[in-house]
A and B are shown apart, each in its own frame.
Chain A
């Protein structure tokens, strides 16, 4: 699907460190100009390796990476013109903030006045205009983070890579920075490739998310698709919370299928990733899509549930119940007046629609 707008392209890229195992297996990925793509996955899934290959610090064992139309496998890192924000910022400790920002410009032999204006503009962009003369050690973690972002952008690169840049910040600051980075991306129109293992970070900022596992992209989709329409069990499990019911396919009818759960109940689900009748399948159901004591006839799937545990979380009440022989079935009940208040030990009815229950493969389950 090569279009004019494709800016970064991984073509059949493989990477092995020891010659025995592949860390990245046959990666094909096209990133459009101006896009914010996040590589999301558990540690060891190959996402950082991909980023390092793109930045030029690791050579690809096989395949080719293109930047624009140019293959860049043979281009050394300093000639790629890619900005990067490192995990621990890598701000040069012996230089002031201004000197750090001026470094990429001095290397490019810009004039002094040009350097001064650009440095100032970049600092203002991250709201640190008054901190130019400080050393990185005199800044807080959040401020260092902003400087790192400013430094990666100060020389106007077309592509910026970010390697878990928010990992060292506390939760509140992290959320704030997510919005800031998102806004910077939107206002500059720069292409961003972002690596993280934090799904909420990925969902907040990205245009598209590539979910990595075991050196393979499991799914590449916009955040809403990824959450609402996971294509396999791994993605369903990795993104957001998820009730998993195991069973085997009884019948397939168009886009719908019937899956017999291991305790004998039959559930009607959306056929997404099942091979055929008689195969094992994983049913994936989001906790917030379950309704307690639904009106009769509203849902095709209604089952008895015994409330095991209630956890009060403010905006919603997390309910653990036994359904269809699974005692770790989670339901999120909004904390609103018209919702029934449950007590532990109650027996109630849970119901959900066919479209919300997705029948997926079993292979991605670890």
Chain B
């Protein structure tokens, strides 16, 4: 009898992890927001980098290993956005299930529309260029849709008992996104064709989706700080081209952009590129709501 009791107790403990929520760890808050939309209450989703951090320069802190050790699904932006920190974390996490090639590893860029793939040779004379294409692709909501579908598929395979929930959550998310896209398109119609300069080359997907024209960058090459000569020619170009907006991510120092804006007449917009980039942005749709609101406000007085 004692043996049977012990067996029952052991079975309960062993069964507990199966009933537990799927543990999902993402590199960014954007991916975490999409995963949370799809997973609902069936998964525990955490992000490593905060939305107000530059995702290129996240430190590979050992404390992140505590999250990764228990993760069942790891999702990264890919295209070498996290190359400075994610591979080091993965190889140190002692969790083989989430290593590249394993079922618990997911690269969200697969299936997405990727812009800015270099056509010629690539080397570091071009700056911190991404040879596989521009990794800021989540800033096109259609790519968000692709990512959500991929996450739903992956969760359904890993957790078939809840696959119905994942499908239903995905369908609800897609419906909400479609409604939102109609709103956003109406809102963006006011600034179609507006010329902008951005600090870093983070906005090609966003610009293409909402009709902005990116004319130049504050960085002469990705990741390379601007020289006085570059700033001088940028100011001249902004004046000559009729650039109306200067978009800067919140993690860059504003001293130089403020000078460029003041001397060129372009309106400076500090615009978050990620969920969590401002305290109030908590969802993927909320990110576009806020971005378009900022652009609309900046252009309102122009």
Are A and B genuine complex partners? no
List chain A positions with a Cβ less than 8 A from chain B: none
Residues of B within 8 A of A (CB): none
